[in-house]
Chains A and B, each alone.
Chain A
Amino acid sequence: MILQQLVNGLSLGAVYAVFAVGFTLVFGVLNVLNLSQGAVFMWGAYVGLEAVRTLQLPLPAAMAVAVVAAGILGVVTEWLVFRPLQRRGAHRWMGMVGSLALARILIGAAQEVFGTQVVRYPDSALIDATIVIGAARFQGLQVVAFGVALAMVLALGILLKFTNFGRAIRTVAFDETVARLVGVPVGRVRVVTFFISGALAGGAGGLWSLLFQSVSPFMGDTILLKGLTVLILGGLGNVVGALVGGLLLGLVEVGSIVAVGSGFRDAVGFGLVLLILLTRPTGLFATREAKRA
């Protein structure tokens, strides 16, 4: 049973991690919470689903379409909300409220286009395989999703760590003024960051809807709260922290159902956030972040 719960927790946590990594990346670069991330996640899920249902694309192609579409939506967020606000030097709260308003528009639009009912992928599009190891049962899909999630985060890590563009992103994250001085194209970095962040949200939406067979206009609300939790666990703007924090939250949720009782699951998650903040005021993996917040 413990092995099975480990599988349950990790596959849930992997999706949290992908979502939170995109979330934290924007925070790292812009020092602002983009609260439309949950709605982008939802649109990613719908685009993937429609690509399969109406365009009849094979699953991997549909996922790619979803990721790109969500990335573009991320760029739209930057262009529509954050860029004008930053240009006029608005307070960061404006960005939070503005992105939340955009989320409301996106959710309302999804309701209008897709209806309010929960929908899922057609059976023909799914990999229907169960792998049994000892007492634990994996879905083929779970394994694939976990692999894809890790691959996405790893690719981002490589981009950030080893490419020139990654260095540019990190420079902007460190200090925008410094970045401008050393000739980093700050505007372009921001656009690319939002694209990656949106793409990760869309990828998370695709994985989520495949794993749990559930797509609805309101699916972004829950993950937004989870994402915020992971963001704090991992430290704002910390990509590795978000990855570890996501997996940790998945395990903590499953663990609290096993040990404390399912009625208190979310209280355990948020209680953990409080506890961590009280002992480590800038998250579990705080490094250079103390100055940012």
Chain B
Amino acid sequence: MPPARLSRRQAIALSAAVALAPGTSLGQAGAGKVAKIGLVQSTTGGSAALYGTEQKQAIELAFDEINDARTLGDITLRALHADDGADRGQTVNIFQRLIRQDKVVAILGPSLSNSAFAADPLAEQAGIPVVASSNTAPNLTKIGNFIFRTSVPEDQVFPTVLAYAVKKHGVKRVALVYGLDDALTRGAHDVQRKAVQDLGLEPVGIESYQRGDVDFSAQLTKIKAQKPDAIILGALAEEAAAILRQAKQLGFDEKVVFVGCNANISAKLFELAGPAANGILVGAAWFAGYDHPKSKAFVEAYRKRYGSTPDIYAAQGYDAAYLIAEAIRRADTVTDGRAVRDKLAGIQDFEGVLGRFGWSAERDATVTPKVLIGDGQAKVFVAAPAV
């Protein structure tokens, strides 16, 4: 029975058993072997919960599909989910328990890059592969050979989209806005600033804000006086939405182009920004309207089960789940993390939701970046017209 169909009480009882009973074998449901996989995603704890929940849902969907189709023969996948509340201390606690007590063969997560920097070294030492699907911080996979990610780092997509904006709209003067105290937005900003430099654009203003801010009018008013051609956002979806909306209220020139980052590829952006999201450019590994059979099937299955459109983190989580399953199938083991890691690293021709997928030498995802443009009326991102 898939976890989603458990009643609430059963689900609580099940997770209580996982949490409290050391060494209970969870492997009695299937006839064959059970591969236990840690699923460390924040489902509480602020905005991280948004992305964590999406990934958790997508991964559980993927596991159920794989188990139902018996893709792995006699091996059944079992996700042990634990919520770290976006608190790094808890992430380490969870990794330790998953590795040392539950003896998982792999871990999917955690939701936040900061948590990964603290917890991933434990998995590295223990020889347990980790696949992240929302960590975008630079240098993450330098932690070691067991650390992989399907989340495309910003530097793989942003230069392409900025170059597009320059070519299409003749952008010369740019202003940058970013979240000062969030690793994701700050990481995006660093990449954006470098791309601006590389393309020889003139930065006329750099403004920041802090988590929890909802009023960006002071920063925007300051930027407006500098008359930029484009405004580059290193912001989470809800923040980007507020910025777009307030810029419109402050009467920015219609010709000013907004260029966003990975985190903005979410239905939330359109819900919150409304028509103001019209025309925003983002570079992405994936979007919900991506014309690819696997992607279409995924979006449909996700909508059917959860009643909402998956965001990019869900898509990356879904591919991470299929990748780890494929590695387990090839390694044919439910206990040997090292064997699974080696098989995982060997996957080079995987056809996933993100399209053709492979690992870079640093175990980062390599996919073709797609330039997208926000359609405020249809409330979706669509492929941007060619230049």
Q: Are A and B bound to each other?
A: yes
Which residues of A come within 8 Å of B, CB atoms?
A: 1, 4-5, 8-9, 12, 108, 111, 116-120, 123, 130, 132, 137, 139, 208, 211-214, 216, 218-219, 221-222, 253-254, 257-258, 262-263, 265-266
| Pairwise interchain contact A214-B242, C-beta atoms closer than 8 A | yes
Residues of B close to A9: CB separation below 8 A: 218
Given A116-B49, A222-B212, A257-B218, A262 contacting B207 (CB threshold 8 A): yes
Partner of B207, one of A1, A120, A257: A257
In the A-B complex, the 8 residue pairs with the smallest Cβ-Cβ separation, listed nearest first, are: A222-B212, A212-B214, A116-B49, A118-B238, A254-B218, A214-B214, A8-B217, A257-B218
Jot down 20 A-B pairs with beta carbons below 8 A, ordered by A. A4-B250, A5-B222, A9-B218, A12-B215, A116-B47, A116-B50, A116-B53, A117-B238, A118-B268, A137-B250, A208-B214, A212-B215, A212-B242, A213-B242, A214-B238, A218-B46, A219-B212, A257-B207, A262-B209, A265-B210
Residues of A close to B210: CB separation below 8 A: 265-266
Q: Which of A1, A208, A263 has the most CB of B within 10 A?
A: A263
Tell me whether B333 is interfacial, beta carbon within 8 Å. no
| Pairwise interchain contact B251-A137, C-beta atoms closer than 8 A | yes
Residues of B close to A12: CB separation below 8 A: 215
List the A residue with the shortest CB-CB distance to B266: A117
Tell me whether B256 is interfacial, beta carbon within 8 Å. no
Residues of A close to B222: CB separation below 8 A: 1, 5, 257-258
A165 to chain B, nearest CB (A): 35
Expressed in whole angstroms, the Cα–Cα distance for A130 and B221 within the complex equals 16
Tell me whether B44 is interfacial, beta carbon within 8 Å. yes
Tell me whether B213 is interfacial, beta carbon within 8 Å. yes
Residues of B close to A214: CB separation below 8 A: 214, 238, 242, 272
Query: What's the dominant secondary structure at chain A's contact region?
Result: helix
Tell me whether B219 is interfacial, beta carbon within 8 Å. yes
Expressed in whole angstroms, the Cα–Cα distance for A253 and B225 within the complex equals 18
Which residues of B come within 8 Å of A, CB atoms?
A: 43-44, 46-47, 49-50, 53, 180, 207-210, 212-215, 217-219, 221-222, 224-225, 238, 242, 245, 249-251, 268, 271-272, 274
List the B residue with the shortest CB-CB distance to A111: B44
A119 to chain B, nearest CB (A): 8
| Pairwise interchain contact A5-B221, C-beta atoms closer than 8 A | yes
List the A residue with the shortest CB-CB distance to B45: A116
Partner of B218, one of A5, A132, A212: A5
Expressed in whole angstroms, the Cα–Cα distance for A208 and B43 within the complex equals 26
Partner of A1, one of B49, B225, B271: B225
Expressed in whole angstroms, the Cα–Cα distance for A183 and B274 within the complex equals 57
Given A214-B242, A219-B212, A117 contacting B268 (CB threshold 8 A): yes
Query: What's the dominant secondary structure at chain B's contact region?
Result: helix
B225 to chain A, nearest CB (A): 5
Residues of A close to B250: CB separation below 8 A: 4, 137
Residues of B close to A262: CB separation below 8 A: 180, 207-209, 218-219
Partner of B221, one of A1, A139, A253, A265: A1
B250 to chain A, nearest CB (A): 6
Residues of A close to B46: CB separation below 8 A: 116, 218
Given A8-B215, A262-B207, A137 contacting B272 (CB threshold 8 A): no
B264 to chain A, nearest CB (A): 13
List the B residue with the shortest CB-CB distance to A212: B214
| Pairwise interchain contact B245-A213, C-beta atoms closer than 8 A | yes
Partner of B50, one of A4, A117, A137: A117
| Pairwise interchain contact A116-B44, C-beta atoms closer than 8 A | yes
Residues of A close to B274: CB separation below 8 A: 123
Expressed in whole angstroms, the Cα–Cα distance for A120 and B271 within the complex equals 8
List the B residue with the shortest CB-CB distance to A108: B44
Residues of B close to A108: CB separation below 8 A: 44
A53 to chain B, nearest CB (A): 13
A125 to chain B, nearest CB (A): 13
Residues of B close to A111: CB separation below 8 A: 44, 49
| Pairwise interchain contact A137-B249, C-beta atoms closer than 8 A | yes
Q: Which of A8, A9, A108 has the most CB of B within 10 A?
A: A8
List the B residue with the shortest CB-CB distance to A217: B46
| Pairwise interchain contact B218-A8, C-beta atoms closer than 8 A | yes
List the B residue with the shortest CB-CB distance to A12: B215
Expressed in whole angstroms, the Cα–Cα distance for A117 and B43 within the complex equals 11
Expressed in whole angstroms, the Cα–Cα distance for A108 and B250 within the complex equals 35
List the B residue with the shortest CB-CB distance to A130: B249
Partner of B213, one of A116, A119, A222, A254: A222
Residues of B close to A266: CB separation below 8 A: 210
| Pairwise interchain contact A139-B272, C-beta atoms closer than 8 A | no
Expressed in whole angstroms, the Cα–Cα distance for A158 and B47 within the complex equals 41
Other contacts beyond A8-B217, A137-B250, A253-B218: 7, CB < 8 A:
A116-B47, A119-B272, A139-B249, A212-B214, A213-B214, A262-B208, A266-B210
Expressed in whole angstroms, the Cα–Cα distance for A178 and B297 within the complex equals 74
Expressed in whole angstroms, the Cα–Cα distance for A213 and B268 within the complex equals 13
Expressed in whole angstroms, the Cα–Cα distance for A262 and B209 within the complex equals 6
Residues of B close to A211: CB separation below 8 A: 215
Residues of B close to A4: CB separation below 8 A: 221, 250
Expressed in whole angstroms, the Cα–Cα distance for A150 and B47 within the complex equals 33
Expressed in whole angstroms, the Cα–Cα distance for A262 and B180 within the complex equals 9
Expressed in whole angstroms, the Cα–Cα distance for A196 and B251 within the complex equals 38
Expressed in whole angstroms, the Cα–Cα distance for A263 and B218 within the complex equals 13
Residues of B close to A222: CB separation below 8 A: 212-213
